[in-house]
Structure formats: structure tokens, C-alpha cells
Chain A
């Protein structure tokens, strides 16, 4: 079980409280689909993903991105219990959605980049370290029920 120090929790929650989950969600999912184009295969029914601007403007991408990031917000309230928090989502992503867990790591990296672009120097090495630990732990928790 991953253990987060008090400093790490502060670094994570204070940055999160300044985030617009709706916008950041759309941006995170959009960037994933642009930067790692093979991930588009999971979103066949999302309509136009033919160019970066189409992807970033796509309303289904924005809506789904918001859903993903809202779920991430739940993780942040339950940092000491990520495996349980994500157990059902883990089963869903394995049994129904058939998503390779490597993609969770990719999405986590994209989130770190978004935080970096939004917060600049405030995204210090220590804050980055705390967030990297969180996204890795979330990726592990989401992969935990795979079989």
C-alpha cells in the first residue's frame, strides 16, 4: 500500500483545490489522444478525432475527461485507500473496456504535464514528486483487479 506523507498530501490537495476539474479533464484526455494517438482506439464512438483541434474541441472528449478527473478527485480524498477506491473501476477497465493498464500511466503523465503548464514555477520538484507518486499509485490501483 502506498503511503503519502503529510507534506505530499498538502502538495497534492492544495494544487487540486485550484484546478478547474471540467477544463483540466477535457485537456488531459484531449492531450492523451493527441500525444499518444493509439489511445483513440478506445473512443471510436466519440466522433471527430481527426486533428488536434478537433480532439480538443470535441464535446464528448471534454465530457469524458471531466468524468475521469472527477474520479481522480475521489482518489485524492482517499489517498490512503486507493486500491479500494478504484476496485470497481479496475474491474470495469479490465472486463468491459479492455484497456491496457499502460494507458493509465500515460494519462497520469499527461496530468503532470497539464499541472506543469498551468502552475509553472509553483510546480516545484517536491510538488512534482508528490504528484508523480499519486498518479503512479492511481495507475497501480486501476490495474489491481486485472486478470
Chain B
């Protein structure tokens, strides 16, 4: 279980308070699909993913991205119990969706990049460290029920 210090929690929650979950969700999922194109295989039913602009403008990508980040918002309220928070989602991603857990790490890195883009210098090394810890904790929690 990842240990988040008081500073980690402050860095995470204060930045999160400024995030537009809907916009950031679409951007994060969109960038995942552009930067790591093999991830598109999980979204066959999403319609046109034929180019970066098609992906970034795709309404299903935006909607699903918002859903994923909303779930992450829940995690941020439960940083000391990520495994409990993500137990069912872990089972879902293993048993029904068959997603390789490596993809959770990739999504986490994309989210960190999106935060860096939006917050520039405010995304200091210390803030980055807290967020990197956060996304690693989430990826681990999402993989914890895999079998």
C-alpha cells in the first residue's frame, strides 16, 4: 500500500481542485489513443479513431475519458485505501475487459503529461513526484485483483 504524506495529499488535492474533469478526461484518453495507438483495440465500438483530430474530437472518447477521470477523483478522496476503492473496477478490467495492466501505467503517465501541460511551472518536481506516486498507486490497485 502506497504511503501518501500530508504534502503528497496537499499537492494532489490542490491541483485536482483546478482540473476540469470533463475536459481533462477527454484529453487524457484521447492522448492515450494517439500516443500509444495499440490501446485503440479496446475501443472498437467508439467510431472514428482514424487520426489524432478524429480521436481528440470523438464524443465517445470524451465521454469515456470523463468517466475514467471521475473515478480517479473518487480515488483522490480515498488515497489511503486505493485497493479497496478500485477492487471492483480491477475485477471488471480483468474478467470482462481483458485490459493488460501495463495500460494503466501508460494512462497514468498520460495524465501526468496533461497536468504538466495545463499547469506549467506550477507542476513542480515535488508536485510531479506526488502525482507520479498517485498514478502508480492507482495502476497497482487496478491490477490487484487480476488472476
Interface residues of A, Cβ cutoff 8 Å to B? 30-31, 34-36, 52, 55-56, 109, 112-114, 116-121, 123-126, 128-129, 132
Contact = CB atoms under 8 A, between A and B. Distances in A.
B30 A125 contact: yes
Contacts of A35: 125, 128-129, 132
Given A116-B117, A120-B117, A128-B31, A52 B52 contact: no
Interface stretch (B16-24, B68-76, B93-101, B108-116): B108-116
A128 B118 contact: no
A93 to B, nearest CB: 23
Given A112-B113, A113-B113, A121-B117, A30 B35 contact: no
A34 B129 contact: yes
Contact of B34 (A34, A109, A121, A129): A129
Q: Give chain B's interface residue range (CB within 8 Å of chain A).
A: 20 to 34
Contact of B125 (A31, A112, A124, A125): A31
Contact of B35 (A31, A117, A125): A125
Interface in B12-55: 30-31, 34-36, 52, 55
A86 B121 CA distance: 31
Q: Is the interface of A mostly helix, strand, loop or mixed?
A: helix
A112 B113 CA distance: 7
Nearest to B106: A132
B123 interface: yes
Interface of B: 30-31, 34-36, 52, 55-56, 109, 112-114, 116-121, 123-126, 128-129, 132
Nearest to B27: A125
A113 B116 contact: yes
Nearest to B115: A116
Contact of A113 (B31, B118, B126, B128): B128
A96 to B, nearest CB: 28
Contacts of B124: 52
B34 A117 contact: no
A128 B128 contact: no
Q: Which among B113, B118, B123, B128 has the highest number of chain A CB atoms within 10 Å?
A: B113
B116 A116 contact: yes
Contacts of B119: 117
Contacts of A55: 125
A34 B120 contact: no
B34 A31 contact: no
Contacts of B31: 125, 128
